[in-house]
Amino acid sequence: MNHTIIIECLSNKDISMRLQGKAALVTGATSGIGQAIAEAFACEGAQVVIGGRNERRGKKVVETIRSAGGSAAFFAADLTSKTAIDRLVKEIYETFGLVDILVSNAGIYPFAATEEVDEATPGAVIMTNFKGPFFLSAALLPQMVERGSGKVVNITTAGAHIGVAGAALYGSSKAALTLLTKAWAAEFGPSGVNINAIAPAATITPGTAGMEAMVESMA
């Protein structure tokens, strides 16, 4: 969603504003799919928390949303540490109060042949793509359960459901997140919390520049 589109969206009187008064945390929202989700939420009236590692890009997204009349704030999000995740959640609570919607979109995708993957990479992929969403949700879900409402959306990939050469590590980490989503739906759904996963098809973003052929093979 570009700047012109979000301005038109926020000035459109026919927009439902169904997220008015809701706080939504979107991780990996400094570009690409995450940014588009954050801007769409802002169009519907949400207070959007932009979570990401790049402060410059994050503040630019915030500026775009605010200049169009929306509400947004950037928080540095380190999803590789449970301590950092707990600190992030505490800071968000102190600023916005409770979080109504969590979108776990942040992820890394080191596409490579299996024999070329070094020892450190699997841990980094699992930590960012699986453990990060796990502990972030674990920190937010109790207050959602207590209120009897809330939404968690995990962004996975079509590559979690098909085998793609060179994407074994990425696809398997997202497949784990997909199953986690199903388990959480069973665990927290009865308490009124809505848990879903969205698996976008081939999507070219700034983060996948130079990997177009690999991304399109997941379509």
**Percentage above 90 pLDDT, the chain:** 74
Rounded CA-CA distance 70/63 in Å is 9
Report the catalytic residues: 170
159 band by pLDDT with thresholds 50, 70 and 90: confident
Q: Kindly state the tokens that stand for 168.
A: 């074994």
Q: Any idea which of 14-23, 24-33, 90-99 has the lowest mean pLDDT?
A: 14-23
User: How do residues 73-87 score in pLDDT, each as one tens digit?
Assistant: 999 988 989 999 999
Answer whether residue 219 is part of any domain: no
Containing domain of residue 52, as a range? 3-214
CATH number for the domain harbouring residue 125: 3.40.50.720
Mean pLDDT of the chain: 89
Answer whether residue 66 is part of any domain: yes
Residue 188, helix vs strand vs coil: helix
Amino acid at 202: A
Q: Total structural domains in the chain? A: 1
Rounded CA-CA distance 177/211 in Å is 22
1 band by pLDDT with thresholds 50, 70 and 90: very low
Answer whether residue 117 is part of any domain: yes
Please state at what angle helix 3-11 crosses helix 32-43, rounded to 10 degrees: 20
